[in-house]
Amino acid sequence: MKTTFAKPAAAATLAALFAFGGGVSAQQQGTGGDPAAGAGAQPSAPVNVDDATLSEFADAYLSVQEIRQDLSDKLAEAPDRAAAQTMQREAQDEMAQAVKDSGVSVQEYNDIAVGLQNDPQLAQRVKEAIDQVR
């Protein structure tokens, strides 16, 4: 299920990543860090995820949350909107790299994140995987 994406598609692909990760927009909308709650994702078919991929997703999720928190702290100190936008772009790149470094692709991460909305069993498995990684 490993997939790669072209650079132009990266921004679109990251939308679900950030929606699930609690968002990295100036408005900071999102799930409040709840892995079982999606943020505006469209309904999808059930996602079949093996335990190894779920563990990698949990690693990625925690890394994304850490970057998101760091960004939130930095945005509070941003001198202007341009600086805030630069910080957001840098954080998006860091998040994408953190996801890839965890062993899942951004697409896989997004698929799992979107699947959480409609699949309570998957949401429970993700919660348990995150608890194990912590």
Q: What does the domain layout of the chain look like in residue ranges?
A: 9-22+49-133
User: Looking at residue 63, what is its pLDDT?
Assistant: 96
Cβ-count burial 80-99 (b if 16+ within 10 Å, e if not): eeeebeebbeebbebbbebb
Tokens at 20, concatenated: 């699930």
User: Looking at residue 35, what is its pLDDT?
Assistant: 42
* SS3 of residue 80 by DSSP: coil
Of 18, 27, 19, 33, residue with least CA distance to 84: 27
First to last CA, the chain: 25
Per the CB < 8 A criterion, the answer to whether 55 and 129 are in contact is: yes
User: Looking at residue 133, what is its pLDDT?
Assistant: 87
Q: What is the pTM of this model?
A: 0.68
Alpha helix locations (H) across the chain?
7-20, 51-75, 81-102, 106-118, 120-133
pLDDT means over runs of 10, the chain (134 residues): 37 45 34 41 67 95 95 94 96 96 95 91 94 90
Query: What string of DSSP letters covers 30-52?
Result: S-TT-TT--SSPPP-PPPP--HH
User: Looking at residue 46, what is its pLDDT?
Assistant: 65
